[in-house]
Structure 1
Amino acid sequence: MSYQHGAYGEIGNDKVKSAVQVDTVVAYIGTAPINLVLGYKEKGLINTPIKLENMPKTQATVGYSSNWNKFTLCEPFDCHFANTIGNVGPIYIINVLDPAVHQKDVKTTVELTFKNGRAEYVTDTIILDTFALSDKVLGADYSLDYNYTKGAVVIESLNDADPITGTVEASFTEVDPSLVTKSDIIGSVTASGKRTGLQALSKLYTMFNAVLNILAAPFWSEDPDVYKAMISVVQKLNGHWDAFVNADLPIYDSKAKAAIDTLKKAEEWADSNGYNNGFSKVYWPQVQYAGKVYHLSTQATVTMQRVDNSHDNIPMESPSNKEIMCTAQYFGANSENEGFDQQDGNELNSKGITTAVFWGGLWVLWGPHTAYYEYGSDGVARYIFDVNIRMLMYITNGFQRRHGTQIDSTMDLSLQQSILIDEQEELDSLKGRGALIGDPTVEFLETANPTSNLMNGDFVWDISATPTPPFKSGTARVSYTDEGFTAYFGGGE
């Protein structure tokens, strides 16, 4: 056993014969248009967790653009805070876009026409802090703002007696989101201790006392290197917490320069690129709604959070077969694929790929499995369903949160028994809610606690629990019988 100091939780081997969690904590990593925020440098908006709760606060804090390909975090903003099914949050983001680094080399110069002391210019790439109006002083001669409804910079004269009129030259630097690479998303920890990209997620707990539950990175998670990095960072974050990844398969492979627009291509791509980790769900294709195209990982993350919230943030129910914002599947602008039904969706599910299908009069997320699952193969039971592994994470994370403050207290028999009682009560409560079935138990076993470990202050409690499985399929068997013909001869009634 390695040196340990603190409360820990481990997901052990399955035992198969034939929760103090706060809100479900969702985090996204990507690029936000912080270039539209005045004074962004002083506000700490780069490579650090930011909590967002609604669209107005989001726009004021990190900006917003309808160009999701450039500013990838704006898709989650829309999906969480402008959701026709129901808004859900809060969310946390890590923005890696740094306007001081990711910018165009040459300044932009435009001619602005002022009318009644006011001018507008449509752009979402302007770095507002660099805006300059010829021969005018910001704050003295004019004010500067951004209108998110119009997607335009608004310049207003401050001198009503002598307003700015006519055509005036303005200059500014523009941000270039294309300069952001997967290395920025994956991030690193420097020798001086600075954390960037995914590594900045470790600050989520220290800054907000929040334990990560779900991580997503629309646009970026379809890169195998980013996917692997996401899987790595969610296991024992801060040395303690386990979380779950929602990731996408691409609809276009930029490396191979080929469309991934059929079931077979998606299955082959997932297999050859290793999208099969049990700490994740993977999704394909994308979906359309109200003229917008969404990654399914974003729709799934919103749905997971909504379903968890309906159970007091216990991840006891799969997001599968829950309504999402969708009117059609999307395979790319040039694809000839006209979509598929539940039967084809089941083919994807059998390979551990979650999708979207039309069922029961609604478009729903379809697939209760983790990416590890493959029908017909012998596998690890805890990775069969998303609820299996997420409930085990809930239990281990909860144990650590409940007892972390007791670390370095005197471990007398009273404390040992108190932990046993507390944990059994927690398990019984989860069973009572329907999150667990059978008889979940917690034990303090002599075999797991040798004297050498106890002498060093290391104690282990063994928990056995069976998460309640989803109702994946139901079959009604109907048999024809000729016995009804006796009714013709007086044998009925």
Structure 2
Amino acid sequence: MAGYQHGVYTYEVPTSIVPPVKSTAGLTVIVGTAPIHLTDDPAALVNKPMLGYTYSECVKKMGYLDDFDSYTICEAISSHFALFAVAPLVMINVLDPDKHSETGTEKVTITKNEGILKVAGVLKSSVIIKSVDGATTHDVKDYELEFDDDGYLHIYTSVATEVTVEFKKLNPSLVTPADIIGGVSLDGSYKGLELVNEVFPRFREVPGIIIAPKYSTNSAVAAVMKAKALNINGLFQAVAFADISTEEVRDYTQVPMVKNQNNLDNPNLQVFWPKVSLGGKQYHMSTQAASLANLVDASNEGYPYEEFSNKNLQMDAAVLADGTEILLSLEQANYLNGQGIVTALNWIGGWRAWGHRTSAYPANTDPKDAFISVRRVFIYEQNQFILSFWQKVDKPGNRKLIENIVDSKNIDFNSKAARQFILGGRIEFLEQENAVTALMDGTYTFHLFITPPTPAREIKGLFEFDPSYFSVLFG
């Protein structure tokens, strides 16, 4: 308690308006495989979320090779940073040297004190160099090891002209859908897609888009991605981008059937077919779509109200996995769109993402569930509401609290409406939605109304012949 006071004193009180907390709508989280053998400590990168803001940072943390089929995280690194120049990216590697590896032995010729072990995925720490007959093990001080840009191990030594190399190497083909799905271990640690729950506690960023290129073609993986997107940390939501296999589905007319068979039908799930190619290098469309969504969001102050449909992908061909080119007509592409599938269209302006419907369409036609951009706005607003007003939890439930939340959110809505991000929005504290028994139990319910603009999916022009203009002939 303050003592006797005499004079003028000042005090600070909390601001009556709470500024909104920014939520990263497009923060992409990829679960897949990385060439961790190129890093200093591969074992430390297994089932651990890593955040990267630059190309070089991601390469240093996870390694990089152009073999996207073996190392799917490299596909996302390339798409995000090289093709679209967007950031950041959260990477979760499930490739485990203890589970997904095998041993090998190779003879290597040493020329001018240098030899190349042309085997992919070699773990440097496992290498043992012996004499040609395998009888003698060379001291580690007698040689140096270094990877080249292709991921092959170079051996530098002056003690021999030919050696036998024993090693353990990564085998990404041993990674299964179960590894991507993951779960919770007996020790309480998370694996695979369950690690999405660690993104916010680690980095204070809410996941926005979940991808698992190559593996999301598996129906079980897609189902878990869908479930995870609906419930992150018991609070937040995101969207999941999944692909339909271009190995199993070679004809566009079969894509809707596979979508339905695999139960790919949720507002928070977007479905893509086929793959895209740039200079002969293939990308899953879900990967480039995630990067493109980030690029479009960035042009709108991070607010996800604009569709990434009809925006340019970084591609020169739509392809199947075996390289067969797919060239859809506008009618064929629209058919897929009408079944809740996003595709690629080579039309006015070059190759573009084409499709604005979530996988819930056409079974669900509610605008907030059927349009990708509208769905992402609803997710963004819900996440932002949680982040902004979490600080008010356990404050006294009085008029001051209610007015603070209502005034703060209405100011936020008005600002977004003024910038044309939404057509309008408001928040109300309604008596009929707040029963006395609920208030007695500490539950306060606010009702938020919001109308994001729907995409102009069809623009019509009505042309009519007007005979009255013949009058100009008699001027």
Normalized against structure 2, the TM-score is what? Answer: 0.90
2:239 is aligned to 244
Unpaired stretches in structure 2, ≥5 consecutive residues: 1-19, 131-136
1:28/1:217 contact within 8 Å kept: yes
* TM-fit CA distance, 1:115: 3.6
1:31 is aligned to 33
**Residues 482, 185 of structure 1: CA spacing in aligned structure 2 closer, same or farther, 3 A cutoff?**
same
1:6 is aligned to none
1:261/1:332 contact within 8 Å kept: no
Query: What is the percent sequence identity of the aligned residues?
Result: 27
**Residues 38, 129 of structure 1: CA spacing in aligned structure 2 closer, same or farther, 3 A cutoff?**
farther
1:339 is aligned to 327
| CA deviation vs aligned residue, 1:199-229 (integer Å, no higher than 9, x gap) | 1111111111111111011101111111110
Matched letter for residue 122 of structure 1: K
1:7 is aligned to none
Distance 2:111 2:60 in 1: 26
Q: Does 1:266 align with 2:266?
A: no
Match of 2:357 among 345, 351, 369: 369
Matches for 1:138-153 after TM superposition, within 5 Å: 138=140, 140-148=141-149, 150-153=150-153
2:307/2:373 contact within 8 Å kept: yes
| CA deviation vs aligned residue, 1:178-199 (integer Å, no higher than 9, x gap) | 2211111111113431211111
* TM-fit CA distance, 1:96: 0.8
2:34/2:73 contact within 8 Å kept: yes
Question: RMSD of the TM alignment (CA)?
Answer: 1.9
Matches for 1:140-289 after TM superposition, within 5 Å: 140-148=141-149, 150-157=150-157, 163-253=158-248, 260-289=249-278
Instruction: From the two aligned structures, give the one with the greater helix fraction.
Output: 2
2:200/2:206 contact within 8 Å kept: yes
**Residues 113, 34 of structure 1: CA spacing in aligned structure 2 closer, same or farther, 3 A cutoff?**
same
SS at match of 2:426: strand
**Runs ≥4 in structure 1, deviation > 6 angstroms?**
none
Normalized against structure 1, the TM-score is what? Answer: 0.87
**Residues 345, 467 of structure 1: CA spacing in aligned structure 2 closer, same or farther, 3 A cutoff?**
same
Match of 2:346 among 358, 370, 391: 358
1:13 is aligned to none
Matched letter for residue 153 of structure 1: L
1:31/1:96 contact within 8 Å kept: yes
Q: Does 1:21 align with 2:10?
A: no
* TM-fit CA distance, 1:470: 1.4
* TM-fit CA distance, 1:114: 2.9
Q: Does 1:108 align with 2:93?
A: no
**Residues 142, 60 of structure 1: CA spacing in aligned structure 2 closer, same or farther, 3 A cutoff?**
farther
Q: Does 1:123 align with 2:127?
A: no
Q: Does 1:69 align with 2:69?
A: yes
* TM-fit CA distance, 1:474: 1.0
2:79 is aligned to 79
Q: Does 1:57 align with 2:57?
A: yes
1:30/1:217 contact within 8 Å kept: yes
Matched letter for residue 124 of structure 2: L
| CA deviation vs aligned residue, 1:294-353 (integer Å, no higher than 9, x gap) | 111011000011111111211111110111111111134375x65212221111111111
1:433 is aligned to 419
1:372/1:383 contact within 8 Å kept: yes
Matched letter for residue 340 of structure 2: G
2:452 is aligned to 467
| CA deviation vs aligned residue, 1:352-407 (integer Å, no higher than 9, x gap) | 11100012231100011111112xx6632211211111101111100111111232
SS at match of 1:447: helix
Q: Aligned residues, how many?
A: 449
Distance 1:234 1:366 in 2: 23
1:33/1:124 contact within 8 Å kept: no
Q: Does 1:458 align with 2:443?
A: yes
| CA deviation vs aligned residue, 1:415-460 (integer Å, no higher than 9, x gap) | 221111111111112212212103x110111222222222222211
Distance 1:485 1:372 in 2: 52
2:23/2:383 contact within 8 Å kept: no
Matched letter for residue 226 of structure 1: V
Distance 1:37 1:128 in 2: 9
Match of 2:318 among 316, 329, 333: 329
| CA deviation vs aligned residue, 1:258-284 (integer Å, no higher than 9, x gap) | xx1222111221122211211111111
Unpaired stretches in structure 1, ≥5 consecutive residues: 1-18, 158-162, 254-259
2:381 is aligned to 395
Distance 1:123 1:237 in 2: 40
SS at match of 1:227: helix
2:6 is aligned to none
2:113/2:161 contact within 8 Å kept: no
1:114/1:164 contact within 8 Å kept: no
